[in-house]
Chain A
Amino acid sequence: MHRNPSRPLSPHLTIWRWGPHMLVSILHRVTGSGLATIGAAALVWWLAAAASGPEAYGTFVSWATSWIGIVIGVGLSWAFFQHTLSGIRHLVMDIGAGFELSTNKFWANMTLVGSALLTALFWFVVLGVK
């Protein structure tokens, strides 16, 4: 199906004034897509390796604990926390709440602060306890 050029396009990125809500909205999509591809692959690899035996699991662990594995792991954990917090924000807004401008901006910012804090806390516990 071809787009009919005489029909208007919906307003897009370029026309809105930038704010945290826009960043958070875009990040929801970016993090969702990252988790759906790299995150899902990592989850499958982890479980399949555990099912295949100690050798396969060892290969997984040596990748996961290499510096590239750690970068990906930290990235995925941040993506998860960011996506989850903005996902909760989505659900709240679906109920019709939180649209008042300052409230909306506040919670958009809180997802960014929250995901950074949760990522730090998660790795602190992982590395601190073990």
Chain B
Amino acid sequence: MRMETPLSRVRGLGSARSGAHHWWLERLTSIAAFVLFVWLIASILRLPSLDYGTVTAWLRDPIAAVPMLLLIVTTFWHLKLGMQVVIEDYVHEEGMKLFSIVLLNFFTIAGAALAFFSVLKIAFGGDASNG
């Protein structure tokens, strides 16, 4: 650091070069989330009931399971990008910021994995009680 001229330091502090990519992915995932949530809301409103049998039978059909899997990936991706910006805006202390972002990544991936696996489990047949 000490070897840098002020100009090069400013350059280094400017664009981290991944910002535009982050911005773009936030837009891309928001559009995908929009389409998939319109599908989810329409599906929920059209299902005759939201009880166990109806919901699991619905998710066993690839025509529902696949969009649901895409919805999970898209939404968790979008939310991870979004919450990272929120954290960066409010958490200024470097250690705490790093810790928060590590936690965010852990929770995002764990949540997405749990939801994703759940849909796969339903789609591929068995449930815990009646196989």
Bound-complex Cα distance A51 to B128 (A): 8
A50 touching B111 in the complex, CB below 8 Å, given contacts A91-B27, A130-B49: no
26 sample A-B contacts, Cβ–Cβ < 8 Å, listed by A number: A1-B94, A32-B82, A32-B83, A32-B86, A35-B79, A40-B75, A40-B76, A44-B115, A47-B115, A47-B118, A48-B115, A48-B118, A50-B55, A50-B59, A50-B122, A51-B121, A52-B127, A52-B128, A56-B128, A57-B51, A87-B30, A88-B34, A91-B30, A126-B44, A130-B48, A130-B49
Binding site for B on A (CB under 8 A): 1, 3, 29, 32-33, 35-36, 40-41, 43-44, 47-48, 50-58, 61, 80, 84, 87-88, 90-91, 94, 122, 125-126, 129-130
Lowest 10 A-B CB distances belong to which pairs?
A51-B118, A53-B128, A36-B79, A47-B118, A57-B52, A53-B129, A51-B121, A48-B118, A54-B52, A44-B115
> Are A29 and B86 in contact, CB atoms less than 8 angstroms apart?
yes
> Are B129 and A55 in contact, CB atoms less than 8 angstroms apart?
yes
Chain B, range 11-33, C-beta contacts under 8 Å to A: 27, 30-31
> Are B122 and A51 in contact, CB atoms less than 8 angstroms apart?
yes
- Interface SS of chain B: helix
Q: Mark B42-55, 1 if CB is under 8 A from A, else 0.
A: 00110011111001
Min CB distance A64 to B, Å, is 9
Bound-complex Cα distance A47 to B72 (A): 10
A3 touching B82 in the complex, CB below 8 Å, given contacts A40-B111, A80-B37, A130-B49: no
Most buried by A among B48, B52, B72, B121: B52
- Minimal Cβ-Cβ distance residue in B for A29: B86
Q: Mark B102-131, 1 if CB is under 8 A from A, else 0.
A: 000000000100110111011000011100
> Are B79 and A53 in contact, CB atoms less than 8 angstroms apart?
no
Bound-complex Cα distance A94 to B68 (A): 28
Bound-complex Cα distance A47 to B127 (A): 12
Most buried by B among A36, A56, A94: A36
Bound-complex Cα distance A35 to B34 (A): 14
Bound-complex Cα distance A41 to B107 (A): 10
